[in-house]
Structure 1
Amino acid sequence: MAVEELSHVAAARRIQRLTSHISPTLTSPQQLQTETCSSRSKKLVVNGEALSLYMKGKHRDIQEKVHEFFNSRPDLQTPLEISKDDHRELCMRQLYALVREAGIRPFRYVADDPAKYFAIMEAVGSVDMSFGIKMGVQYSLWGGSVINLGTKKHRDKYFDGIDNLDYLGCFAMTELHHGSNVQGLQTTATFDLITDEFIINTPNDGAIKWWIGNAAVHGKFATVFARLILPTHDTKGVSDMGVHAFIVPIRDMKTHQTLPGVEIQDCGQKVGLNGVDNGALRFRSVRIPRDNLLNRFGDVSRDGKYTSTLPTINKRFGATLGELVGGRVALAYSSVGVLKVSATIAIRYSLLRQQFGPLNQPEVSILDYQSQQHKLMPMLASTYAYHYASVYLVEKYSEMKKTNDEQLVADVHALSAGLKSYITSYTAKALSVCREACGGHGYAAVNRFGGLRNDHDIFQTFEGDNTVLLQQVRNLPPCLDNE
C-alpha cells in the first residue's frame, strides 16, 4: 500500500474516533448517559453556623475570646499606614494586652496543650501577623527552647518570667552565612575551667546572628546556638562537641542597656512583618555561667567533663532540632489561617460584585462566571483540605510531646517538613490569585491582600527554606502510618 493511501486510512480512522467521542453510541443500558445541568432553583442548603463551629474545633472559645477582646480595643488595631518603629511598639502593646489585660497566657499551653496554643496563635495572627510572629518568638522559640532543651532548673528559673513577659527573649540560631545549615554554625561557646563559665564568641562577620526577632528593641535574653568547645589535654588542646543552646543575657533587666560584649544592630525595614524588631547579635567574649547551658541532651560538669545519653554529635544534634519541630507545625497551621482569611475576602467580594449580564437584564454576580469559579472554588476546596491536614499534624505533634515515641517523632518530622513547605507555597500563590480575582478593588490596601501577601511571604523561608525541606522529605525513609 502506498504511503499516500496509508495516510488517508490513518486520517479516516482519527475522524471516526473523534466522531464517536462527539456522538457516542450506547451499546448497553448500563452505560453512563448525559444529564441536563441542574437548574439554578436547586440550591444546596448548608448550615453555615454549624459548619463554622465544627471548623473552629474544640478551642473556638479561646479564639473568640481573642477576637472579642481586640475588636473592643480600637487602640490596639493596626492602622494601614504606620511607621516601622510605631508598628513595633504597637505589637509589643498588643502582646502585653493579650497577656496582662485579656488574661490569656499562651506559654502555659506550649508544652502541655499545643493544639490550644496554635489556636491562640491563629487568632492573634488574624489581628496582625506581626503580632502573631512576635508572640511566636517569645513563646514558641525563646520560651520553647528553654523548656524543651533545658532541664528542671531552667524551667524553675525562667518559666514565670517568660510567661508574664518580664523575660522577653530571642532565638539566636540563624547566622549571616548559615541559615538552614545549622550544623555549619560558627559561633562558639568555650568552657573556662578556671571560672566555671562559657565564653560566647562571634569569630567572624559571617557568624553574626542575623534576623533575630525581638533583638533590635525589646529582648533581654537570647537562646544562642553555638559550638560547644571543651579544653583537652591532648595535642589538639580543644574538643568540638557540636552545636548546643545557651541562655545569654543581652540587656540589663533594669536599665535595658546592652550588656558588655554584646553588640546589637537593627536589621531595618523589611518586605513585611515590620512590627517584629529583627536584629543582629555579635558576641565578643561574653561570659555566662555554666548553668546557662540548656543541658537536656548534653552537659558539662564543674571539672569540664562532657556527658550525654546520646552517643554521637549527630544524634544529639538530631534530638535538639527534633524538639524545635513545633515551629514548622505552627507555620503550616498559621499559613492555613492566612489562606482562610484571603479566600473568604475574595469569595465574599465575588458574591457581591456584579458585572455584565444578558442584554437589558440586571448584571450578575462575578462568582457566577466560570473563570471566577475556576480561580476560587478549587482554592476553597484546598483550604478545607489543608485545614484538616494541619489539624491532623497538630494532633500528631501533641501526641508526640506526650509520649516521646521515636516512630512518632520521625512521622512528625517528615509530615511537618512536607506540609510546611507545601501549604506555605500554595498560600503564597493563592494570595496573588485572590488579589487578581477582586480586580482593581483588590489592590486597595484596606482589602488586606497586599499586607497579607507581604507578611506571609517569609513563611516560605521561616523554619527552613521550602526547597531544603522538600529535599529532607525526599531523603527521609518511609515512616508515616496509614491513617
Structure 2
Amino acid sequence: MAAHIVDERTKELQRPSTQIILRTHTEPSQDLDEERRRATFSVSELAYVLNGGKELLEKKQRLAEILAKTSWGDKSKRYFLSREEEYVGGLRAALGIWEKMKAEELCLADGALMRSLVDFPGGLELHIGMFIPSIISQGSPEQQAKWMPLCMGLRIIGTYAQTELGHGTFVRGLETTATYDRKTGEFVLHSPTLTSTKWWPGGLGKTATHAVVMARLMMPDEEGGGVRDYGPHGFIAQLRDLDTHLPLPGVTIGDIGPKVGYNGVDNGFLSFDHVRIPRDDMLMRFAKVTPEGRYVPPPPSNSKASYATMVFVRADIVKNAGSSLGRAVTIATRYAAVRRQTAPAAGERELQVLDYQNCAATLLPLVASAYALFFMGEAMMAMYRQFEKDRDRGEFGALPELHALSSGLKALCTWITADGIEECRRTCGGHGYSKLSGLPSLFQNYVQNVTWEGDNNVLCLQTARHLLKALAGVRQGKRVSGSAAYLNEVAVELAPESRCGATCDKCWLGADVMAAALRHTAARGVVTAAETLTAATGGKGLVFEGRAWNENTVESIRAAKAHCTYILHQTFVQSVDQLEAAAASDPGATCEQGRAVGAATAAVLRQLAALFSLEQLERSGGVAALLEDGYLNAAQAAALRRRHRLLLTDLRPNAVALVDAFGFPDYLLNSALGRADGDVYRGLLDMARGSPLNATQEGPAWPDVLKPVLAARSRL
C-alpha cells in the first residue's frame, strides 16, 4: 500500500480546526495529577495500613515488576485467551509461582502475594485453598505426616469434593456413601444416584490426582443386614494414576464446561462405582473408625470440628471481599476523575464525570464499603486465628459464634462486592463494557462468591438461627456474649421511649448516633423474626425446620443482614480508633509498620465510616424501617439524607487519594481505565492493538468468507 503523504496546503487548512479543539482539550494524566494534589491526608500512611506496612507494600510493587517479566506472569494477552488457553495458562502460572517459591526459598505469605498479583485462577486453587487446610485441620498427626510432604512437594494435587448435583449447602443431605468393610479394613466409596455425582470442585476436571471427598459414613451392623448412617465425614481418595493421569478404575471424572467466569479453573464432576480406599484414608483427627469397625465419635466439645475448614474458607472470603471491591473502585474512580462529559457552556472544558453528584453518589459509598470490608476481613481472620489456637487446646466454645458470624458476613460482604463491581462497571459507561477495562473479568471471576461455600440466603439463615437462639436465651434470663450481646438489652433498646438522639444534620457523623440506629435496626429485626416464627408455630416457640420455618425465612434473613451491617460499622469505627490511638501512644515507628494513622487520616476514615453506614441504611430500607418503628421522625430522616449528600461533597477531594492508598500496582489491575498515570485512552488503544484479530490487516474471515461475497460485486 502506498505511503500516506499530507501536503502543506492540507495541513494549513486543518490547523485552525485543530486549534479550536485544543482550546478545551485536557490530558487525562494532568487531571489525575491535580486530583492527587487535593488530598487532605497522607496517602502513604494509609497505604501502609492497607498493605501490612511499608516493607510489604514495597515488596508488592517489586514483585509486580518481576512477575510482569516472566512468561507465565505476562498479562498482555490475558483478555484474548480461549478457555483451553486460560486453563493451561492459569496452571502454568500457579506452577511458576510454586517453583519460584522453592528456588528462592520464599515463605507461604510471599506465594500468596504472588498469586494475588498474577491473578490467574487455575487448577491449584483448591489444592492450596481447601485440600491442604482440610488435612491440617481434620487429619491426625500421622495423616499430616504422610500427606503434607506429598502436598507441599506437588507429588500429588488435591481438591475438595463436597457439592453434588443434587445437594450443596445442605451437607447432611449428601448422597455419596463410604461404607466400612470390616473384613478388609477398607471403605467403599460409592455414588448410588445420578444426583450424588460430585459437581463443581475446582481442579477436579483435569488437574487433581486426589480429593478430600465428603461422604456419609455407613457402618454395617456386625450381625449383618443393617447399616447405621453417621453423616458426612472427610475421606482422602486417589482419583488418577500418578504416571498416566488417567482415572482409576471405578472413578468417572471430567470437566463441567464453561462458566460465567473463572474459566482458568477446571471445575469438575466425579462419581464412584464401589471404589475401595484404606481405612486410614478417613480423616481422623476427631471422629475415628477402629480396625474392628467401631465408630469413635469426637468428644462433645469437638463435635463441630468438621466445620473448621468451611469456617476458614468463609472467613477468607470475607477478607478478600475488600480487595476485590477495592480493585473495582480504583479503576472506576480514576477513570471518572479523568473522563470528561458535557461542557457548561460553549468554549469551556467538559466536566469531570466524578463531579456529577450521581456519579459520586455511586462511587464514593463503594470506596467506603471497600474500606469497611477491609477492616472486617482483618478482624475476621484474627478471630479465626484465635479459634485455631483454642482448637489446638481442645477448646471449641467460640465456634458457634465464629460459624454464625462468618456465615452472615460471607453473605453480606459478597453481595456488597459483587453488586459493587457491576456498579463500577456501569459507571464507566461504554468503555466499562470492554474487557480491557478489567471490570468485566473482575466481575465474572468474583460473582461466584455469592453462591459457593454456601448460598448467601441459606448462610443468612444460619446466622439468624444463632441470633434467635440468643434472644430466646436472654428471655430466659441468660446473658449472651459476642456480636449478639446487644440482645441483652433488647427490652430497653425497643422500649416505646427509645428514640434516636440526633438533633441536627451533623449528629449523623457521630459514631454513637449511627451505632444506636444500626443496633436498633438489628434488635428490631431479630425480635420481628422471632415473633413471626413463633406466630407460625401457634405459640410453640422457635422451630428451625418444617413448614413454619420454611415459610417464615424472609424476616430471618433481614435480621441477619441488619446484624452483620451493625458489626461492619462497629468494626470499622473501632479499627480507626485503634489506629489513631496507636499513633498517639507511639508516634512515628508504628505508621510505617501499618499499625497507626495520624489525625488527618483518621478524620477521613471516620467520614468513610459514616458514609458507609448511612448508605447501608438507605439502601437496605433501614430508614423506612426506623420510621415505621417510631425510632426516627421525619425531620431526623431528612437530616440523615442531607448528611449523606454532604459527605459526598466532603469526600470528593480525597476520592483518588483514597483509592491510591489501596496500593494496587497497574500489573494487578490490568486495566486500561485504571492506570495510575491516568493515560487511559492511550491504554485502550495500545491494549486493543494486541487483539489476535489485528494480527493481519485483512482479518481471519477475509479469504474464505468475505472475499467471495465482495468479489461478486464485479458480476453485478
* Preserved CA contact (<8 Å) 1:121 1:135: no
Residue 254 (structure 1) aligned with residue 256 (structure 2)? no
Q: 2:340 aligns with which of 334, 340, 354?
A: 354
Secondary structure at 1:57's aligned position in 2?
A: coil
Residue 390 (structure 1) aligned with residue 377 (structure 2)? yes
Aligned partners of 2:217, 2:106: CA distance in 1, in Å?
A: 28
Query: 1:18 maps to what in 2?
Result: none
**Greater RCO (Cα-Cα under 8 Å, separation 6 or more):** 2
* Preserved CA contact (<8 Å) 1:191 1:197: yes
Q: 1:480 aligns with which of 462, 479, 482?
A: 482
Query: 1:424 maps to what in 2?
Result: 414
* Preserved CA contact (<8 Å) 1:221 1:249: yes
Cα 1:463/1:386, change in 2 over 3 Å? same
Aligned partners of 1:336, 1:97: CA distance in 2, in Å?
A: 27
Q: How does 1:138-177 map to 2 (within 5 A)?
A: 138-177=127-166
* Preserved CA contact (<8 Å) 2:72 2:89: no
Normalized per residue, which structure has more helix?
2
* Preserved CA contact (<8 Å) 1:125 1:334: no
Q: 2:298 aligns with which of 284, 296, 309?
A: 309
Query: 2:445 maps to what in 1?
Result: 455
* Preserved CA contact (<8 Å) 2:322 2:372: no
Residue 344 (structure 1) aligned with residue 326 (structure 2)? no
Aligned partners of 2:338, 2:204: CA distance in 1, in Å?
A: 45
Q: How does 1:431-442 map to 2 (within 5 A)?
A: 431-442=421-432
Query: 2:92 maps to what in 1?
Result: 93
Q: CA deviation at 1:339?
A: 0.3
Secondary structure at 1:225's aligned position in 2?
A: strand
Cα 1:105/1:306, change in 2 over 3 Å? farther
* Preserved CA contact (<8 Å) 2:373 2:413: yes
Cα 1:465/1:158, change in 2 over 3 Å? same
Q: How does 1:364-379 map to 2 (within 5 A)?
A: 364-379=351-366
What is the TM-score normalised by the length of structure 2?
0.57
Query: 2:184 maps to what in 1?
Result: 195
* Preserved CA contact (<8 Å) 1:99 1:164: no
Residue 130 (structure 1) aligned with residue 121 (structure 2)? yes
* Preserved CA contact (<8 Å) 2:90 2:121: yes
Cα 1:294/1:105, change in 2 over 3 Å? farther
Amino acid at match of 1:173: Q
* Preserved CA contact (<8 Å) 1:331 1:420: yes
Q: CA deviation at 1:292?
A: 0.3
* Preserved CA contact (<8 Å) 2:101 2:107: no
Amino acid at match of 1:73: T
Query: 1:32 maps to what in 2?
Result: none
Cα 1:62/1:201, change in 2 over 3 Å? farther
Q: CA deviation at 1:66?
A: 4.7
Q: 2:400 aligns with which of 410, 416, 421?
A: 410
Aligned partners of 1:377, 1:358: CA distance in 2, in Å?
A: 23
Query: 2:49 maps to what in 1?
Result: 54
Amino acid at match of 1:55: L
Query: 2:81 maps to what in 1?
Result: 82
Cα 1:453/1:106, change in 2 over 3 Å? farther
Amino acid at match of 1:139: I
Deviations 1:160-214 (A, max 9, x none): 2212322111101011100000011111111111111111111010100011211
Q: CA deviation at 1:239?
A: 1.6
Query: 1:326 maps to what in 2?
Result: 312
| More divergent stretch after superposition (186-195 vs 411-420) | 411-420
Secondary structure at 1:76's aligned position in 2?
A: coil
* Preserved CA contact (<8 Å) 1:129 1:455: no
4+ long deviations beyond 6 Å: 104-108
Amino acid at match of 2:366: M
Aligned partners of 1:221, 1:108: CA distance in 2, in Å?
A: 25
Secondary structure at 2:200's aligned position in 1?
A: strand
Deviations 1:404-454 (A, max 9, x none): 243432232122111111111111111121111111111111101111111
Query: 1:217 maps to what in 2?
Result: 206
* Preserved CA contact (<8 Å) 1:327 1:463: yes
* Preserved CA contact (<8 Å) 1:99 1:105: no
Aligned partners of 1:61, 1:128: CA distance in 2, in Å?
A: 19
Q: CA deviation at 1:372?
A: 1.1
Deviations 1:85-121 (A, max 9, x none): 2211111111111111244999975xxxxxx58xx64
Q: CA deviation at 1:52?
A: 1.1
Deviations 1:11-58 (A, max 9, x none): xxxxxxxxxxxxxxxxxxxxxxxxxxxxx9x95422222221221125
Q: CA deviation at 1:357?
A: 3.0
Q: CA deviation at 1:381?
A: 1.1
Aligned partners of 1:418, 1:104: CA distance in 2, in Å?
A: 41
Secondary structure at 1:333's aligned position in 2?
A: helix
Q: CA deviation at 1:302?
A: 1.3
Task: Give the fraction of aligned pairs with identical amino acids, expressed as a percent.
Answer: 31
* Preserved CA contact (<8 Å) 2:213 2:235: yes
* Preserved CA contact (<8 Å) 1:106 1:139: no
* Preserved CA contact (<8 Å) 2:174 2:215: yes
Deviations 1:253-292 (A, max 9, x none): 1221111110112201111100001110010111111110
* Preserved CA contact (<8 Å) 2:125 2:202: no
Aligned partners of 1:256, 1:332: CA distance in 2, in Å?
A: 35
Query: 1:467 maps to what in 2?
Result: 457
Q: Give the total of aligned pairs.
A: 430
Aligned partners of 2:272, 2:124: CA distance in 1, in Å?
A: 25
CA RMSD of aligned residues (A): 2.5
Amino acid at match of 1:90: G
Aligned partners of 2:96, 2:240: CA distance in 1, in Å?
A: 23
Gaps of at least 5 residues in structure 1 are 1-39, 110-115
Query: 1:11 maps to what in 2?
Result: none
Secondary structure at 2:52's aligned position in 1?
A: helix
Aligned partners of 2:143, 2:336: CA distance in 1, in Å?
A: 53
Gaps of at least 5 residues in structure 2 are 1-34, 471-480, 486-573, 575-716
Cα 1:332/1:122, change in 2 over 3 Å? farther
Aligned partners of 2:389, 2:231: CA distance in 1, in Å?
A: 28
Secondary structure at 1:457's aligned position in 2?
A: helix
Aligned partners of 1:416, 1:68: CA distance in 2, in Å?
A: 35
Cα 1:63/1:261, change in 2 over 3 Å? farther
Aligned partners of 2:105, 2:176: CA distance in 1, in Å?
A: 31
| More divergent stretch after superposition (346-355 vs 58-67) | 58-67
Query: 2:40 maps to what in 1?
Result: 45
Amino acid at match of 2:69: S
Normalized per residue, which structure has more strand?
1
Q: How does 1:104-123 map to 2 (within 5 A)?
A: 116=109, 121=112
| More divergent stretch after superposition (334-343 vs 405-414) | 405-414
Aligned partners of 1:61, 1:201: CA distance in 2, in Å?
A: 51
| More divergent stretch after superposition (180-189 vs 406-415) | 406-415
Aligned partners of 2:105, 2:210: CA distance in 1, in Å?
A: 19
Cα 1:104/1:346, change in 2 over 3 Å? farther
| More divergent stretch after superposition (53-62 vs 143-152) | 53-62
Aligned partners of 1:252, 1:64: CA distance in 2, in Å?
A: 41
Query: 1:70 maps to what in 2?
Result: 67
Cα 1:441/1:222, change in 2 over 3 Å? same
Q: CA deviation at 1:474?
A: 0.7
Secondary structure at 1:251's aligned position in 2?
A: coil
Cα 1:340/1:105, change in 2 over 3 Å? farther
